A = this chain, B = another copy of it.
């Protein structure tokens, strides 16, 4: 059995690469997908495809349409979602993806540093499991195959 894992959440460090490498080291039958990790490209994809937009709101609107297309497609192909909340930025997309997963009854693991417990408490309460580090999330996925 192969599981597709969607890695939602912050794109400001390389936690996904670590995650994938560790999964490989453990020989886990996991394949991964996730959002565009190049932040700048994610912001510019609307103009990259449709050309120069009249203002920054139109530029954001165009970019978000292609980012949402990507997310919806990849999340629908996934068996489980892992969402990492970090301390920087608003990360409403992470909350949006986590909540969409829950509402679709797709299993969800939330990773959040202990310090973020209070603002993420309602989402955490609904998630299947809540951990503090990517390594623990991987342990949870490994447990499925034991």
Contact = CB atoms under 8 A, between A and B. Distances in A.
Nearest to A106: B76
A interface, how many residues as a size bin? 35 or more
Report copies per complex. 8
B121 A64 contact: yes
A63 B128 CA distance: 11
A49 B99 contact: no
- Shortest 3 CB-CB contacts between residues of A and residues of B: A95-B95, A103-B103, A99-B99
Interface of A: 1, 3-4, 31, 33, 36, 41, 45, 48-50, 54-58, 60-61, 63-74, 76-77, 79-80, 85, 89-100, 102-105, 107, 109, 114, 117-126, 128-132, 136, 139-140, 143-144, 146
